[in-house]
Amino acid sequence: MPDKLENLVAATNAPLNDPDMNRTVGSGTPRFELYHFALSLCSQKVRICLVEKGADFVAHDINLQSPLLGNYDPAYVKLRMTAHPGTDYATGYTGRSSVSSEGFDPAVVPTLVDWPEDRVVVDSLAICRHIDRAVDPANSLVPEHIAPQVLEELAIVDATPHVAVLYGAHPDIDFRPERLKSGMPGVHDRKIGKIETARALVADDASLAAAYDAKIAKEKAGKHHVTTPDNMRASVDEILRIVRDLDQRIDSGSTWICGDQLTLVDLFWAISLFRMKWLGMAFAWEGGHLLNDIQSPAVANYAARLFELPSFKAAVIDWPGTPRSEFVSVHYSN
Ligand SMILES: N[C@@H](CCC(=O)N[C@@H](CS)C(=O)NCC(=O)O)C(=O)O
């Protein structure tokens, strides 16, 4: 008989007892339980969606950088696996985090528990679409009349190789924040060490062990990607192209990317463009950089509007524990 959701969540939550990292957002009875990490791009997408929809939720901040097992904890991985019962795990790495290009990763954040529906939902895009349908469906962030356009645009954000430029340096110019330049080398080996520790705890559970083996293979592929200069050049070039293409799609007569109504993809672009800026990549639209000379003024204006959204401020700028970088100081008042 499958484990009951209550038991899986109780086991996951047992070590999560720091009140600052595990707290209720909103004043009503929380419908959702979210496992996330302050700096994680995929988690930020889910947080901004929850805030924009006015949902109440319990937020568990799983610090990916802590020496604790966190997202590799067997109880958490087991909870996540209930949302994807197959064994077709991600084992490769292209610098993206999209499930459609990479496959399912059993040991990452975010993960959402929807109590009334008694289910676990994984993958930021699927989670946000779920929240959008579950909360205030009359004010959908994917309005039916423009749904194909919104979904097409969402797929572009989802397939942007953000992870490559977080973990790896461009071989010619490492434009990233100082904290990444000093902190990222060796990260894949550190992750693999933690995953092996977690795997050893469940060596006699074949399905969990298989999930950890896939994660180890993925991290080895990730290390190879970010330490291969041509791969990193290609990932940065792809982001520059994505921004230039976005500039062409922005209609100067509309406030948002799919018209005058704010949609889910505007929230996703807010997170994506801010991450680029955080990483020192605002030159993607500002130009004037050795890696990109071309300005994208429509993206610059669009980004400025997105960064003023109250939901963006609440989910990213003011979200406790979200580290700043030297490239985004202007967005903070203190
Ligand atoms: N497709 C998934 C990808 C999730 C993902 O890659 N999460 C990253 C943070 S954005 C993570 O948890 N990384 C930690 C690790 O790999 O150990 C989603 O969008 O939710």
* Predicted local confidence at residue 147, as pLDDT: 98
φ/ψ (deg, to 5) at 59 = -105, 120
Mutation test residue for ligand 1: of 77, 108, 190, the one with most atoms within 8 Å of CB:
108
- Measure 252 CA to ligand 1 centroid, in angstroms: 34
- Measure 260 CA to ligand 1 centroid, in angstroms: 31
**Which one, of 311, 307, 309, lies nearest residue 319 by Cα?**
311
pTM over 0.85: yes
| Mean per-residue pLDDT of the chain | 96
Helix (H) or strand (E) holding 114: strand 111-114
Pick from 84-98, 124-138, 279-293, 305-319: least confident: 84-98
Q: At what angle do helices 264-278 and 147-158 cross, to 10 degrees?
A: 20
Range of the domain at 248: 5-327
With respect to residue 231, please indicate whether it lies within any of the assigned structural domains. yes
Strand arrangement, sheet containing 111-114: 22-25, 57-61, 32-36, 111-114, 119-122
* Predicted local confidence at residue 100, as pLDDT: 86
Q: Which CATH number does the domain housing residue 80 bear?
A: 1.20.1050.130
Alpha-carbon gap, residue 192 to 198, rounded angstroms: 10
Structural contact between residues 163 and 94, judged by C-beta atoms closer than 8 angstroms: no
Structural contact between residues 103 and 91, judged by C-beta atoms closer than 8 angstroms: yes
Atom of ligand 1 nearest to the CA of 41: 10
* Predicted local confidence at residue 65, as pLDDT: 84
- Measure 240 CA to ligand 1 centroid, in angstroms: 22
pLDDT digits (tens, 9 = 90+) for 206-241: 999 999 999 999 999 999 999 999 999 999 999 999
R_g over Cα of the chain = 19
| Cβ-proximal residues to 258 (8 Å cutoff; 6+ apart), any chain | 146, 149, 150, 153, 265, 266
With respect to residue 18, please indicate whether it lies within any of the assigned structural domains. yes
Give the number of domains in the chain.
Answer: 1
Atom of ligand 1 nearest to the CA of 195: 17
Mean pLDDT of 139-150: 98
Residue whose CA is closest, atom 18 of ligand 1? 123
Mutation test residue for ligand 1: of 60, 69, 89, 109, the one with most atoms within 8 Å of CB:
109
With respect to residue 334, please indicate whether it lies within any of the assigned structural domains. no
Residue whose CA is closest, atom 3 of ligand 1? 97
Residues with CB under 6 A from ligand 1: 40-42, 64, 71, 97-99, 105, 107-110, 123-124, 191
With respect to residue 333, please indicate whether it lies within any of the assigned structural domains. no
With respect to residue 25, please indicate whether it lies within any of the assigned structural domains. yes
Reduced to 3 states, what is the DSSP secondary structure of residue 36?
strand
Residue whose CA is closest, atom 2 of ligand 1? 123
With respect to residue 269, please indicate whether it lies within any of the assigned structural domains. yes
pLDDT digits (tens, 9 = 90+) for 258-311: 999 999 999 999 999 999 999 999 999 999 999 999 999 999 999 999 999 999
> Residue 176: pLDDT above 90?
yes
With respect to residue 97, please indicate whether it lies within any of the assigned structural domains. yes
Residue whose CA is closest, atom 15 of ligand 1? 108
Residue whose CA is closest, atom 17 of ligand 1? 108
